[in-house]
Structure 1
Amino acid sequence: MRYRHFPTVTLALGVVLLVDVLRVFLPAVITIFGQAASTPAELLGAFAFGWFLLALAAPALIRRVGARPVTLTAAVLLVVARLAVNGQPGGPLQLWLATAGLLAGLVWLAGAAATTDRPVPGLALGLAVGALLHTALDTYRSAFFGDWPAWLAAVAVSGLFLAGQARPASAAGPGGVRSWLLAGPALLLAGMVALSPAVARTATSYQFGLLRSDPADAVGVATVPLFGAAPLAVAVGGFLLAALASPRRGAWRWLGPVALVVGAVLVALERGELLLPAVLLSAVGLGACLASAGAADGGTRGGTDATGAPGPDHGGQDPAQGDGGGQGRAQDGGGQDPARAAGRRGYAATAGMLVFAVAAVAYYAAYDLGHPNAGVPVAVAVLVAAVALATRPAPPRGPARAGGAAGRPAPGPLRPSLPPVWTAASAAVLTLLAAVASDELLSASNRDGPPETVRVVAYNVRMGFGIHGRFDPDALARAAAGADVVALSEVDRGWLLNGGHDTLDLLAERLDMPYVFAPAADPLWGDAVLSRWPLDAARTRPLPAVGAPTGAQALGITVDFSEDVRLAVVATHLQPPPGEDPVVQARAVADFAVRYAAGRPLVVAGDLNTEPGDPAFAEFTRAGLVDALAAARPLPTSPADAPRQQIDHVFVTPDLTAGEAAAPPGTASDHLPVAVTLTLPRG
C-alpha cells in the first residue's frame, strides 16, 4: 500500500468501527435504557441525543491539547469499547460500553477532521466496507456475540485502524468543512436505506419473492427471495464509483442530488415495491453528492494533495496547534489560521453527527409518539443535495507563491485518492459473493401428505432483542423449535434504530421455514408467518389506527398440506392506544379472518394486547372462534422474565382440536411464545 493511501484507509476503518458501535448503542437505548417500552420516548431521545451534543466539546479540547494525543486516545478507547461490546450478554454493561464507544468514536471523528481536509474517499470506503462486512457476517455477528470469523474481522479491523492511527498525521489545509458536515447525514442515509444489507434483502423479497401467491391478493406482502441481498452489490459498486470518480460539471452535476432526493422520496412513500429502486438511486446519488462536496477540498495548498499525500507547506505540524502555543500561521494557499481551519472541520464533523442524531430520533420516535415522519429522510437528502450543489470543483493548484515553499514542484491536477473503477468493481464483487454465501435456500414440502396434527407457535419477538437487550436469533429459534407454523409479531427487517438486521430472514434460516411478511408501521416492520408447509394466497388488511401511533395489520395466509387439506392462518399484532382495549381492531381482525378462511379451518394468532374476559378478547369468541389455550389458563406471557399478563393468544375454529398448550419460558424476547398442537379435521 502506498503511503498516500494510509490516511484514507485509516479513516475508512475508523468509520467501520464507529458504525458497529452505533449499531449496538441505538438498540441498547431502546431495549436496555428503555426498560421494555416503559420509559417515555422523550427521555429515550434525550439520552441518545445528549451524547452527540456532548461531542461538540471535542474540537475545543483538540485545540487546547492537540489533535494527535486526543485522536489517538479516542481511537484506543473506541477499539476497546468495540471489542468489549462484542462479548457482552446484554444488560446495563452493554449499554454503557456502547455509550463509551460512541462518545470515543465521536471525539475520534472530530480529531480525524482536524487533520484531514479530504475525507470523502475515506468516508466512502468506510461505509462500503462496513456494508460488505455486515453482509458477510449476517448483519448481526459483527456486533453481537460473533463466532470466530466475526471476532477475527473485528480484531483485524481494530488492529489495522490503530496501526494507521499511530502514524504521524500529514498537515491539512483549510478545506474540507463541507465534506465533514456530510459525514453524519451520509451515515444516516447509508444505514437507513442506501447501503443496508437488510433493507436490500427486504426490498428484493417484495419484488422477487419465490412463494406462490395471487398477485391480486398479495398487495404489500413480501416473501422469501433467492439471493436476497444481491442488489446491495450494485448499490455498493455504484456508490463507490460515484463517490471516487471526478464529479460531473454543468447540468450533469444535478444528476446525483436529484437521484438521492428521488430515492428518499420513494422511501417516504412507504411502499415495499419501491424499496429496491430507492436503495439503488439513493446509493448512487449519495456517492455523487459526496464527490461534489469533496471536489472543493483540494483547491488549497498546504494540505494533502488529491491523492492523499502530504502537501508542501506544513511539514507535519499538528494543524490543531499553530506556532507558539496555538497561534497558527496564516498559510499562503488560503491565508487561514490552520488551527482555526482544523476547528472548523471538527465542528462540521460533530454538527453532521448531530444531524444524524436529530434525524434518527425524529424518524423512529414517531412510532411511539405518533407524529408524521416520512419527510425526515427527504429532508436529510435535500440537505446533502444542497451542500453538494453549493460546492464548486476547485481549480487545479498552481505553483507555490513567493514566501511559501519556494522551489517545490507544483502539485499536479486533481485526481481521486483511490482508483474509482477498480475499487468500486472489487467492492461490488466482494459484496455479491458475501450476499450469495450468506443466503440459504429455504424449503417447504408436502410430499409426505397432510399431517394429523400441526404445532402452532405465536411469538412477539421484539425486533429480535431479548429482555436484557441482547440480539440473539439463535435463542429465538430455540424458543420456536418444533413448530410447523409460526406467527410472528414486531418483526424488524432493517431499521437502523435496531441495528439494521433482517430478523425475519435470520430466524427463517435457523428454522428452515419460508415466510410471508406483511408491513404494519412501514415496509420494514410488521408481522410474518413461517411454515414447514407451502404457503399460498397471501392477503393483508390494514387495521384502524384508533389513535395508536404504530400501525397494525392482519395477514392472511393459506397453509397447503395437500390438494384437499388446507389451513387458513391470520397473524396480527393489535396496537391499541396506551391504557385502552383494542376492541375496534379486534373486531376488524375477526371479521377479516372469518371472511378470508371462507369455511376452511382457521387459526388467528399473535400479540393481541388483550386478556381473557376483556371486550376485545370477546370479539374473537363472538365471531365463533375458540380459545386454543383455554385448557392451560392462566398462561401469562409478558414480561418474559416475570410474566403477569395474558396478552398473546391463539384462536381457532371449532373443527380444530387443541392440545398441549404451553408458554415455554425464556428471555429471547420481552414476551414468551405460546404454542399449541392442533388436530386437523378429516373428511
Structure 2
Amino acid sequence: MKLVTWNTQWCRGLDGIVNPERIVEGARAMADFDVLCLQEIAQGFDDMPGHPGDQPMQLQGLLPGFAVFFGAAVDEIDAHGKRQRFGNLIATRLPVARIQHHALPWPADPDQPSMPRMCTSVTVIDPDLGAIRVMTTHLEYYSSTQRMAQAVALRELHAQACAQTLAPPRREEGDAGPFQAKLHTEQAVICGDFNMAPTDPAYAEMVEGFEPIAGTRRHLQDAWRVAHGDAPHAPTFRLFDRRYGPDPVACDFVFLSEALAPRLRRIEVDGNTQVSDHQPVAIELA
C-alpha cells in the first residue's frame, strides 16, 4: 500500500495561487498512491487568500476511481447564512469498510489563538496487508496545552480500536441494523500535520506505550525512525517560507502500529515542491 500525506494550506502554493490539481499532481509524482491524506481542505471560505472553492468536490473530480471522505473540524454558518467547512480529507481507491470522524479535545487556552481539530479515520482493505485503519489529523499550532490533549486523544483512539480488536463486542445474531458486527483492526497508520517537532512533549505522548486490555502492551512507532533510526527527520515545514520561524522543522509525521512497522519499505519527503507551505510525505507498506 502506498500512501501520501500532505498539509496543503487549502491547496495554496507559495506563489499565492490556489490549485488543487497541483496538489494531486505533486502527490502522484511521489507515488502511485492508494491512499491520499490531505489536511487544510476548505469548503465555503471564499474570502480566504486565493479564494478556495469547494475543494472536496474539486478533489473528487481530480481523483476518478477514488472514494473521497471529508471531515470538517470547523463547520459553521457565517453571518450571511453560508456554510463554511475546513478540515481533513482521505481519498482511496482501496475497498472501504468503515468511516469515522472524531472531534479532538479543545480545552480553553485564552492566551492563544486556536481552532477546533479533528481526526478522520477510514478503514481500508489492502489485498496483501488486510484491514488497515488510516487516520489523518492536523493538531493545534499555537497552543501546546491543546496540542498535548489532542495527541493523548489520538493515542487513546488507537488504544480503543486495539481493545475492540482484542475483545470485540458480543455479536447479535441476525442483526442487520447498526449493532451488526464491525470490522476492527490493530493495523493503523496515523498521519498528518502534528505541528510539533520530534522534541515536543506531545510527540513523546504519541509513542508512549499503552495497554489496550490488561496483559497486553502496544505502542505507535514513527515511520521515519523505523526506516532511518536516529537520523534527523527530513524537514517538512519552513523550508522556503520563514514567516513562522527561522529554521526548517519536521512536523508532518506518519505513525505506524506495531503490526505495520515491519512492513515499511519506504518513507520519503519531497523537499522541492512549493505548491504548499508544507512538504508531502510518502510511505510504502508491503
Is 1:540 equivalent to 2:101 in the alignment? Answer: yes
Structure 1 counterpart SS, 2:195? coil
For residues 465 and 576 of structure 1, the distance between their equivalents in structure 2, rounded to whole angstroms, comes to 18
**Do residues 485 (structure 1) and 64 (structure 2) align?**
no
Question: Is residue 18–residue 52 contact of structure 2 (8 Å, CA) maintained in 1?
Answer: no
Are 2:278 and 1:674 aligned?
no
TM-score for both structures, normalised by structure 2: 0.73
1:527 aligns with 2:88: yes
2:236 is aligned, of 637, 647, 653, to: 637
Look up the match of 1:661: 267
Instruction: Please show how residues 144-543 of structure 1 align to structure 2 within 5 Å.
Output: 454-481=1-28, 482-498=32-48, 499-512=51-64, 513-522=66-75, 524-543=85-104
| AA matched with 1:608 | F
CA displacement at 1:603 relative to structure 2: 0.5
**Could you list the runs of 5+ residues in structure 2 that have no partner in the other structure?**
76-83, 166-184, 210-218, 242-246
Larger Rg belongs to: 1
Residue deviations 1:593-652, cap 9 Å, x none? 232353431000000011113211111211400111223542110025267110000001
Q: How has the CA–CA distance of structure 1 residues 667 and 576 changed in structure 2, closer, same or farther, with 3 Å as cutoff?
A: closer
Partner Cα distance (2:248, 2:70) in 1: 29
Q: Secondary structure at the match of 2:250?
A: coil
Q: Give distance in 1, aligned partners of 2:37 and 2:105.
A: 21
- CA 1:477/1:564 → structure 2, altered by over 3 Å: closer, same or farther? closer
In structure 1, the residue matched to 2:131 is 566
- Return the offset for 1:505: 2.6
Contact 2:10 2:52 in 1 (8 A): no
Relative to its length, the structure with more strand (as a share) is 2
Residue matched to 1:293:
none
**Secondary structure of residue in 2 paired with 1:480:** helix
For normalisation by structure 1, the TM-score amounts to 0.32
SS at match of 1:675: strand
Question: Could you tell me how far apart the structure 2 residues matched to 1:480 and 1:617 are?
Answer: 25
What is the distance in 2 between the residues matched to 1:525 and 1:479?
A: 21
What is the CA–CA distance in structure 1 between the aligned matches of 2:55 and 2:235, rounded to whole Å? 25
Determine the structure 2 residue equivalent to 1:577: 142
Q: Aligned letter for 2:101?
A: T
C-alpha separation in 2, matches of 1:601 and 1:552: 23
CA contact (8 A) 1:553 1:573 kept: yes
Q: Provide the aligned C-alpha RMSD in A.
A: 2.2
Equivalent pairs: percent with the same residue? 26
Instruction: Answer whether contact 1:463 1:490 (CA < 8 A) is retained.
Output: yes
Q: 1:661 to 1:564 in 2, by over 3 A?
A: closer
Question: Does 1:605 pair with 2:191?
Answer: yes
Distance 1:637 1:648, change over 3 A: same
Query: Which residue does 1:322 correspond to in 2?
Result: none
**2-side partners of 1:509 and 1:516: how far apart?**
13
Letter in 2 for 1:537: R
CA pair 663-534 structure 1, distance change in 2 beyond 3 A: same
Which residue identity is paired with 2:67? P
Q: Is the 8 A contact 2:106 2:146 kept in 1?
A: no
Indicate the structure whose relative CO is greater, using CA pairs within 8 Å and at least 6 residues apart: 2
SS in 2 for 1:462: coil
Number of the residue aligned with 1:625: 220
- Displacement of 1:465 in angstroms is 0.6
Q: Secondary structure at the match of 2:264?
A: strand
**Per-residue deviation, 1:569:** 0.9
CA distance in 2, matches of 1:595, 1:606: 20
Question: How many residues end up aligned between the 2 structures?
Answer: 226
Q: What SS does structure 2 have at the residue aligned with 1:629?
A: helix
